[in-house]
Amino acid sequence: MADQISDVMNIGTTGDIRWQKFSVPYQFPVAFVRGLFNPSNPLLVEAITRGENTKRHRCYFVIDEGLDGTALTTAIKEYFDTYQDQLELIADPMFVPGGEIVKKDLAYVERMLSTIHSHGIDRHSYVIAIGGGAVLDAVGLATATAHRGVRHIRIPTTVLSQNDSGVGVKNAVNYRGLKNYVGTFAPPWAVLNDFDFLSSLPKRERVAGMAEAIKVALIRDRGFYLWLEENVEGLSTFQPKAEEHMVRRSAELHMNQIANGGDPFESGSARPLDFGHWSAHKLEALTNHHVRHGEAVAIGIALDARYSVLAGLLPEGEDERIVALLEGLGLRIWHPALESTGSDGRLSILVGLDEFQEHLGGALTITLLRDLGVGVEVNHIDGALMGQAMQWLKARERS
């Protein structure tokens, strides 16, 4: 009885509270490979079964329309034929548009939910998403809400989704123009990164994804940042060895932050992995997403690096160094939309601070830089000083 009483907190005469406490350990594999759908490669079947070989595992694919659907569908069928004793392909894949189209509203998520229902996909079945980060986000939201959670496997196909978003625990789509407004925190069953997908990407997409590697290096790993500087030529020409190391190390740093940062489901106000993102999200909206997410993040990194110098946090000259790396990889640091203003004359980009705070909740918390590899949280941004930072970027872009 004494043990039970110790869990009771009396509150005056209004009653008592009994605290429910439990923890749920979770782990999932994040793999890096080439030839994922080669029948001689058992990685996919091993990731699905995890040693449960007493039954056939039912699987359904949702695929990004930007990929070669014919070749991919053929490869998937051949793979499942090879492992037909362990795997069952429920139906032909569903194809959905990539990018912000699939995340524009709930329409595609509702379509996925309808398909999950019509095919009798249950909590022990697998929905496997192949595509960029937006497709993974939308499919992840559908699987997290169907039956309160269907097993979900991510196969990221872009640099950005392999080195950043694909290894995370967040899923979301936009709602009424608000980015990632409807979403969940739901870890995947597995993340399988196949480097072969990267070679088919347009150069613009391939370069844009590198911004997230620079971001995480700047806030968490000086050594990795120095490696990025030393390997600009290899990265900008997509040399496999350099690109693969960049993706792996970036993913590892993102994984470490989620696992050991103390707030995997973002219940607090700080978002260190969103360095450079408060302005990036707003810039995407201001340009109707003509500026890609990675491109907007690059501009956000440059902006916050310069602001960090002006605010006396980052040593003078380090902003020049960061911008040189971004430009060396082929990333721009300026867009005219940064100068757009609202009816009140306020820079529209600064409205992004208000929207960022609303999305996070609590006090405004922005990650800036104290040094290369060292992030610092601040709770106030000087609008005038940020305006100076923007003019610095504009002047450098023109020089």
Amino acid at 202: P
- β-pair type (374-378, 366-371): antiparallel
Q: Which of 14-18, 32-36, 281-285 has the highest mean predicted lDDT (pLDDT)? A: 32-36
195 and 208, same domain (yes or no): no
pLDDT at site 343: 87
pLDDT at site 314: 98
182 and 89, same domain (yes or no): yes
**Exposed, middle or buried: residue 336 (CB in 10 Å: 0-12, 13-18, 19+)?**
exposed
What is the model's pTM? 0.91
Please indicate, yes or no, if residue 14 is contained in any of the structural domains. Answer: no
Please indicate, yes or no, if residue 18 is contained in any of the structural domains. Answer: no
Dihedral angle, C-alpha 323, 370, 164, 391, nearest 10 °: -40
180 and 217, same domain (yes or no): no
194 and 151, same domain (yes or no): yes
Assigned token pair, 312:
């006396």
12, pLDDT greater than 60? no
Listing DSSP states for 1-56 in one string gives -HHHHTTEEEETTTEEEE-----------EEEES-TT-TT--HHHHHHHTT--SSP
pLDDT at site 125: 96
Please report the sign of the dihedral spanned by the C-alpha atoms of residue 240, residue 246, residue 247, residue 248.
Answer: positive
109 and 47, same domain (yes or no): yes
Please indicate, yes or no, if residue 3 is contained in any of the structural domains. Answer: no
Q: What b/e readout covers 39-67, taking b as 16+ CB neighbours within 10 angstroms?
A: eebebbbbbbbeeeeeeebbbbbbbbebb
Rounded Cα distance between 397 and 158, Å, is 27
**HSE toward the beta carbon, residue 211, CA cutoff 13 A:** 27
Longest dimension (CA), the chain: 76
Please indicate, yes or no, if residue 180 is contained in any of the structural domains. Answer: yes
Total number of domains in the chain: 2
Last residue of a domain, one of 185, 200, 215: 200
Please indicate, yes or no, if residue 2 is contained in any of the structural domains. Answer: no
Give the relative orientation of helices 293-310 and 210-220 as an angle to the nearest 10 degrees: 30
**HSE toward the beta carbon, residue 355, CA cutoff 13 A:** 18
| Average pLDDT for 327-337 | 96
CATH assignment of the domain containing 137: 3.40.50.1970
369's CB contacts (< 8 A; 6+ apart) are 218, 219, 275, 304, 305, 308, 313, 314, 318, 375, 376
105 and 192, same domain (yes or no): yes
Please indicate, yes or no, if residue 20 is contained in any of the structural domains. Answer: no
Please indicate, yes or no, if residue 25 is contained in any of the structural domains. Answer: no
1, pLDDT greater than 60? no
**Exposed, middle or buried: residue 98 (CB in 10 Å: 0-12, 13-18, 19+)?**
buried
CATH assignment of the domain containing 374: 1.20.1090.10
Predicted confidence (pLDDT) per residue in 221-253, tens digit: 999 999 999 999 999 999 999 999 999 999 999
Q: Which domain holds residue 336?
A: 203-255+268-398
Q: Is the distance from CB of 125 to CB of 150 less than 8 angstroms? A: yes
Please indicate, yes or no, if residue 12 is contained in any of the structural domains. Answer: no
Predicted confidence (pLDDT) per residue in 91-109, tens digit: 999 999 999 899 998 999 9
Predicted confidence (pLDDT) per residue in 283-320, tens digit: 999 999 899 999 999 999 999 999 999 999 999 999 99
246 and 376, same domain (yes or no): yes
193 and 228, same domain (yes or no): no
Last residue of a domain, one of 200, 224, 239: 200
193 and 51, same domain (yes or no): yes
DSSP 315: -
174's CB contacts (< 8 A; 6+ apart) are 100, 103, 104, 105, 180, 181, 182
Predicted confidence (pLDDT) per residue in 124-174, tens digit: 999 999 999 999 999 999 999 999 999 999 999 999 999 998 999 999 999
Last residue of a domain, one of 184, 200, 216: 200
Please tell me which residue, 55 or 240, carries the higher pLDDT value: 240
169 and 217, same domain (yes or no): no
3, pLDDT greater than 80? no
Cα-to-chain-centroid distance, residue 305: 21
362 and 384, same domain (yes or no): yes
Q: Is the distance from CB of 149 to CB of 123 less than 8 angstroms? A: yes
In the block, tokens 């936009």 appear at: 174
125 and 233, same domain (yes or no): no
For residue 162, the surrounding DSSP H or E stretch is helix 159-163
